[in-house]
Chain A
Amino acid sequence: MKTKNVMIVGVGGQGSLLASKLLGKLLTQQGYDVKVSEVHGMSQRGGSVVTYVRFGDKVYSPVIADGEADFIVSFEKLEAARYLKCLRKDGKIVVNAQRIDPMPVITGAAAYPDDVLDDVRAKGVFVDEIDALALAKEAGNAKSVNIVLMGRLAKYFDIPHDKWIEAIKSTVKPQFVDVNLKAFELGYQQ
C-alpha cells in the first residue's frame, strides 16, 4: 500500500506527543512499517508542536512534506490553518474547536482569526470540527483531549475498535486508563 501520512499538530502541553505514540504503537501492532517523528524541544512551553506519523508497507522519509498529509489532527483551530499547506488535496482535517491565543494575540500585536476554519472550508477542504475539550471534561479529565481526538480519527481508519482500546491500555498510565477509554468513546461516537 501507498504510505499514509498523519500529522498531529497542537500547542505545547496539549498531549500531542502521547497521541502520536499511541498511533505509532497501534499501527506497528497492525503490522505496518511505521515512522514517527517530532520536534518537541518546546513541548511544554506553549509553542507550536508538530508530529509526523507515517505508515505503509515500507516507509522511507520520517517527515511529511507540503501537500502530503492524508490527515491533519489539530488540537487547536489556528494550528489546523497553520499546517494546511501540508494537507493532500483530498486530505481530511480533524480539529478540536478550542481556541488558544498565542502570545502575539495576547499582547495585542496580532489578531486571532476566529473564523479561520470557515476560510479553510471555503477552499473545499473536509473539516471535522469537534469540541474535544468539552468531551474530555465529560470523560473526567480535561487533559484527555488527545484521546478524544484519537477517537474521532479512528472513525476514518479501517482498524478494529478493540485494537484501539488495546493500544490505549498499553500506552497511558494505569490510573488514567478508564478516563481515557471514556474519552476515546466520546470522540468515536460523537
Chain B
Amino acid sequence: MGAERKGGGRGRLRRVAARCQKRLCNEARRSNVAADPLFTLSYTGVGGGMVLFVADDPAMHSSQNEQDSRHYAIAAKVPMLEPADSAEAKDFVKRAFDISEQYDTPVIVRMCTRIAHAQSTVALCDRVEKALPAYEKNPQKYIMAPANAIRRHPFVEARTEKLRALGETSDLNREEMGGTDLGILCSGTCYQYVKEVFGDTVSVLKLGLVNPLPVERIKAFAAKVKKLVVIEELDGVIETHLNTIGVPCVGKAMFPPLGEFNQTTIRKAFGLPVESAPAIDTDIPVRPPVMCAGCPHRGLFYTLAKHKITCLGDIGCYTLGSAPPLTALDSTLCMGASVSGLHGFNKAGGSDSEHKTVCVIGDSTFMHSGITGLVNIAYNGSNSTVIILDNSITGMTGHQQNPTTGYNIKGEPALAVNLEALCRSIGIERVRVVDPYNLKECEDAILEELAADAPSVIISRRPCMLLKYVKAKPPVKVNEAKCVGCRQCMKLGCPAISFKNKKAVIDATQCVGCGVCTALCRIGAMEKGDA
C-alpha cells in the first residue's frame, strides 16, 4: 500500500501518434486544445491503447472557466471513466487502456480537482509489459479524407452501442442498495460526499463509466426507488439524458451548476442539519497570491502601468500583474489569446490603438500557442508590439522546462529554441531584448517600439527568482534619514516592501536585492545591501 498523487494543474496534451501503444496523456484544462485531433481520432481509432487524462476544476481553484469535460466525451463519441478516489484513479487507467485496445478508441479519464490534488491509499499491482503491435499501413482507417471518414462513422456509432452494452454489465458501474425510498445517481467525488452523508442508508448507483450511459441499468435502478436524485457537479449532463429517455429524476432543481460540492452541499439540499461553527465579526483582509519579491515581471509591469499602456495578458504567473497596485493588465482569456488578440484589437482600434497597446506572454505560453499569433501579426503587417516575458521556465505550474530553457521535461539537456531568431525568422525585424530589472531600458524599449510603425517584439529576459540557480543579492536597506515617505516604491506591489511610521520598510527575509526599488527611488533612500 502506498500513497499516490495524481497529476493535476495545467498539463498539456503531449503529441501522440495514432499508432501509439501505451501512452498516458496528462492533460487538464487544455482539453480544448486537444479537441481537434480528438474528434477525428475517435474515427480512426488508435490501433493500440490511448488514454487522455482530464481534470475539471469546479470552483476554478486555478482555471479560467468551469467547463465540464463530459461534453467532450459525448461530442467526440468516446468513452469516459470517472474515478472517485486515488485507488480508482489508478485502477481506472488500467481499465481505460483495456477498453481502448479492445474497442479501438481513445478513452478519457475524467478527474476533478479533489481527485487530482488528493492523496489516499492505493493497492499496487505488478506492471504488465505488452509488445508494441506491428505497424500496418491502412489508409482507409488512418487517412480521414471524406471518402474514408464516411465509412468510419458507422464504426463509431456501432462502437458506442457496444460500449453502452459494456456499461450495462460492467463493474465499473455499481449499485449499492440501501432501501427504496431514495435512490441517488452519481459519480466521482459526488459519490464520496453522498456516502459521507448517508452511509448505507440510501441506494446509490455509482457510475464509473459515465459515457456512454448504461440506460437500461439506470432505468432498472430508477424502477426500484421511489425518488431518483442525480447529483453531479457542473452541468446536468446525466439529468438531461434521463429527461430525454423519460426517466423521472431531480437534479439541478436541488443542486447548482456552479462551484464545488462537499458533504454540506448534500446535507443542505436534502434539508438535513449542518454543523455550526464559531464566528467572529472581525474583518479579515483577503490574501491574494502575489508576484514574488524579485519577480522579473514586476519592473516591466511597473513601466506599463506608469505609462497607462493597454496590455492584453495571457496565462501564467504574470496574470498576477492584474492585481493592485500594478493593475497592469486589461484582459486574460486563454493561452495565446494575448498575441492573436492584439492583432484584432489593433485592427479594430486602428492607429490610435497601435501606439498605446501591447501584449504580454510568457516564454512557455509563447512556445505553446503564441507563435501562430505572431506569424499572423508579421504576415498581415500588423503594427503590434508583443512582449515576451522570458523568465526561462514555466513558472506558475511549478517550474516545468519548456523548449526555450535548454532542458526537456525530464530535466535532461535539450535543444533550446532561440526566441530572437525565431521571431526574426517569422519576419519580425524589430526584435530587442531588455532586462526587466533595468527600468530605464524597459521604458525606452516599450516607448520606442510603440512609436514605431512596424511589428515588433520585446523580449523581457531574466530568470524566475525561484529557480535554484538564481542567487539572491543582499537585501536592500532603507536609509531612514533620506526616506521622505513618498510611497513611490509602494507602487511596485513588492511583498518585501511595506510602510511603517511613514517610512518604507524592507522585509529582509523576503528581499532578494533585485534593485528595482533602488532604481525607482528618486532620492536614493533604497540602498543596495552589503555584500
Interface of A toward B, CB cutoff 8 Å: 11-12, 21, 24-25, 28, 33-42, 44-48, 59-63, 65-68, 78-79, 81-82, 84-89, 101-113, 116, 119-120, 122-125, 142
Are A42 and B277 in contact, with the CB atoms below 8 A? no
Bound: A46/B493 CA distance, A:
13
Are B117 and A120 in contact, with the CB atoms below 8 A? no
Residues from chain A with Cβ under 8 Å of B121 in the complex? 28, 33-34
Bound: A65/B266 CA distance, A:
11
Residues from chain B with Cβ under 8 Å of A78 in the complex? 284-285, 287
Residues from chain B with Cβ under 8 Å of A123 in the complex? 278-280
Are A37 and B283 in contact, with the CB atoms below 8 A? no
Are B466 and A67 in contact, with the CB atoms below 8 A? no
Nearest-Cβ distance from residue B189 to partner chain A, whole angstroms = 7
| B85, B275, B281 interface centre (most CB from chain A within 10 Å) | B275
Residues from chain B with Cβ under 8 Å of A104 in the complex? 285-286, 288, 324
Bound: A44/B287 CA distance, A:
13
- Nearest to A48 among chain B residues (CB) is B287
Bound: A63/B263 CA distance, A:
8
Residues from chain A with Cβ under 8 Å of B495 in the complex? 46, 103, 106
Are B275 and A62 in contact, with the CB atoms below 8 A? no
Are B292 and A46 in contact, with the CB atoms below 8 A? yes
- Chain B interface mostly helix, strand, loop or mixed? loop
Bound: A109/B493 CA distance, A:
12
Nearest-Cβ distance from residue B180 to partner chain A, whole angstroms = 23
Bound: A142/B509 CA distance, A:
10
B192-200, B382-390, B431-439: which lies at the interface: B192-200
Hey, what's the 0/1 contact readout for B92-129 against A, CB within 8 Å counting as 1? 00000000000000000000011101111100000000
A41-B62, A106-B497, A107-B325 in contact; A60/B193 too (CB < 8 A)? yes
Q: List 21 A-B contacts (CB under 8 A).
A: A11-B287, A28-B121, A37-B118, A44-B398, A45-B290, A65-B274, A66-B275, A66-B277, A67-B276, A78-B287, A81-B284, A85-B278, A102-B288, A103-B323, A104-B285, A107-B325, A107-B490, A108-B490, A110-B285, A112-B285, A116-B282
Residues from chain A with Cβ under 8 Å of B466 in the complex? 44
Bound: A108/B280 CA distance, A:
23
Within 8 A of A (CB), among B284-327: 284-292, 317, 320, 323-325
Residues from chain B with Cβ under 8 Å of A47 in the complex? 287-290
Are A124 and B284 in contact, with the CB atoms below 8 A? no
- Nearest to B284 among chain A residues (CB) is A82
Bound: A94/B274 CA distance, A:
24
> 8 closest A-B pairs (Cβ-Cβ)?
A67-B275, A41-B62, A47-B289, A45-B289, A42-B289, A110-B285, A102-B287, A67-B277
Residues from chain A with Cβ under 8 Å of B275 in the complex? 65-68, 88-89
Bound: A39/B115 CA distance, A:
11
- Across the interface, A81 reaches (CB within 8 A) one of B282, B323, B396, namely B282
CB of B370 within 8 Å of the partner chain? no
CB of B409 within 8 Å of the partner chain? no
- Across the interface, B285 reaches (CB within 8 A) one of A11, A40, A41, A102, namely A102
Are A103 and B264 in contact, with the CB atoms below 8 A? no
Interface size class of B (residues with CB under 8 A): 35 or more
Bound: A162/B292 CA distance, A:
38
- Across the interface, A41 reaches (CB within 8 A) one of B9, B323, B490, namely B9
Bound: A42/B280 CA distance, A:
27
Residues from chain A with Cβ under 8 Å of B379 in the complex? none
Hey, what's the 0/1 contact readout for B182-197 against A, CB within 8 Å counting as 1? 0000000100110110
Interface of B toward A, CB cutoff 8 Å: 1, 3, 9, 61-62, 85, 113-115, 117-121, 189, 192-193, 195-196, 262-264, 274-292, 317, 320, 323-325, 396, 398, 466, 490, 493, 495, 497-499, 509
Residues from chain A with Cβ under 8 Å of B280 in the complex? 81, 84, 116, 119-120, 122-123
Bound: A21/B220 CA distance, A:
43
- Across the interface, B61 reaches (CB within 8 A) one of A24, A39, A66, A86, namely A39
Are B493 and A125 in contact, with the CB atoms below 8 A? no
Residues from chain B with Cβ under 8 Å of A81 in the complex? 280, 282, 284
Nearest-Cβ distance from residue B467 to partner chain A, whole angstroms = 12
Residues from chain B with Cβ under 8 Å of A112 in the complex? 285
Residues from chain B with Cβ under 8 Å of A68 in the complex? 263, 275
- Across the interface, A40 reaches (CB within 8 A) one of B117, B274, B493, namely B117
Bound: A102/B289 CA distance, A:
9
Are A60 and B277 in contact, with the CB atoms below 8 A? no
- Across the interface, B282 reaches (CB within 8 A) one of A28, A34, A40, A113, namely A113
Q: A38-B118, A45-B292 are in contact. List 9 more A-B contacts (CB 8 A).
A: A12-B289, A37-B114, A46-B290, A59-B120, A63-B263, A81-B284, A82-B287, A102-B286, A102-B287
Are A103 and B288 in contact, with the CB atoms below 8 A? yes
Residues from chain A with Cβ under 8 Å of B499 in the complex? 106, 108
Residues from chain B with Cβ under 8 Å of A44 in the complex? 292, 398, 466
Are A113 and B117 in contact, with the CB atoms below 8 A? no
Are A46 and B277 in contact, with the CB atoms below 8 A? no
A46-B292, A47-B287, A116-B282 in contact; A61/B317 too (CB < 8 A)? no
A42-B289, A60-B192 in contact; A86/B277 too (CB < 8 A)? yes
Residues from chain A with Cβ under 8 Å of B279 in the complex? 84-85, 123
Residues from chain A with Cβ under 8 Å of B262 in the complex? 61, 63, 65
Nearest-Cβ distance from residue A165 to partner chain B, whole angstroms = 19
Bound: A178/B189 CA distance, A:
39
Nearest-Cβ distance from residue B47 to partner chain A, whole angstroms = 36
Residues from chain A with Cβ under 8 Å of B291 in the complex? 45
Are A106 and B193 in contact, with the CB atoms below 8 A? no
Residues from chain A with Cβ under 8 Å of B282 in the complex? 81, 113, 116, 119
Nearest-Cβ distance from residue B498 to partner chain A, whole angstroms = 5
Are A37 and B274 in contact, with the CB atoms below 8 A? no
Are A60 and B195 in contact, with the CB atoms below 8 A? yes
Residues from chain A with Cβ under 8 Å of B195 in the complex? 60
Residues from chain B with Cβ under 8 Å of A33 in the complex? 120-121
Nearest-Cβ distance from residue A140 to partner chain B, whole angstroms = 16
Bound: A33/B195 CA distance, A:
15
Are B498 and A101 in contact, with the CB atoms below 8 A? yes
- Nearest to A40 among chain B residues (CB) is B117
Bound: A33/B122 CA distance, A:
11
Are A85 and B289 in contact, with the CB atoms below 8 A? no
Residues from chain A with Cβ under 8 Å of B292 in the complex? 44-46
Are B493 and A36 in contact, with the CB atoms below 8 A? no
Nearest-Cβ distance from residue A96 to partner chain B, whole angstroms = 15
